[in-house]
Amino acid sequence: MSAQHSKSDFMARFGGVYEHSAWIADKCFDDDPTLADGRAIDLAGPMSMIVESVPREMQLALLRAHPDLAGKLAKSGTLTAESTSEQSSAGLDQCTPDEYSEFTRLNATYRDKFGFPFILAVKGRHRLEILDNFRKRCDNDVASEFREALNQVHQIARLRLQAIDDDA
């Protein structure tokens, strides 16, 4: 993409990198429009720095923008295209009734404890590995889990940026 491309082109391409949080791509373009000239993966650092520089309330809103894993949105088919692809690649759309029941229980337990959904970069993982990770992370303290959730959000963004490069 050339710097001659518009902000709307940039937003169409990168606005969905962070789940329902196009403000990150918007600020990234405003901060340095020349970033549009490089590879998508080159946006990972600048975008993550934007997230890390905002107040905790904005970070919490970013975390809350993520869907539950194997949750109601997935079952109803209303996830973003990126989330649908990521969750199905991990087999979350093929859960047994018992696995789905455990995801539902863990989603509720986790949200009650932490105030945001469980977030994990699921690409390349199997649903049983995800369940195991989920069970363990429910035992974390709030501060540690907030940090881990942000780390996972950055990992998801990095994977999405890499996919944009791979598709180019």
Q: Please state the three-class secondary structure of the chain as a single string.
A: CCCCCCHHHHHHHHCCCCCCCCHHHHHHHHHCHHHHHCCHHHHHHHHHHHHHHCCHHHHHHHHHCCCCCCCHHHHHCCCCHHHHHHHHHCCHHHCCHHHHHHHHHHHHHHHHHHCCCCCCCCCCCCHHHHHHHHHHHCCCCHHHHHHHHHHHHHHHHHHHHHHHHHHC
**Domain residue limits, the chain:** 7-60, 67-167
* CB contact at 8 A, 40 and 63: no
pLDDT of residue 51: 98
pLDDT for residue 131: 95
Contact 43, 160 (CB under 8 A): no
CATH of 67-167, one of 1.10.3330.10, 2.40.50.140, 1.20.120.1770, 3.60.40.10: 1.10.3330.10
Nearest to 86 by CA among 158, 138, 149: 158
Q: Report the pLDDT value the prediction gives residue 95, as an integer from 0 to 100.
A: 85
66 catalytically annotated: yes
pLDDT greater than 60 at residue 22: yes
Looking at 20, 66, 126, 154, which residue is catalytic?
66
Per-residue pLDDT at 139 exceeds 80: yes
Mean pLDDT over 15-19 rounds to: 95
pLDDT for res 3: 45
pLDDT tens for each residue of 68-121:
887 664 555 555 677 777 777 778 888 899 999 999 999 999 999 999 999 999
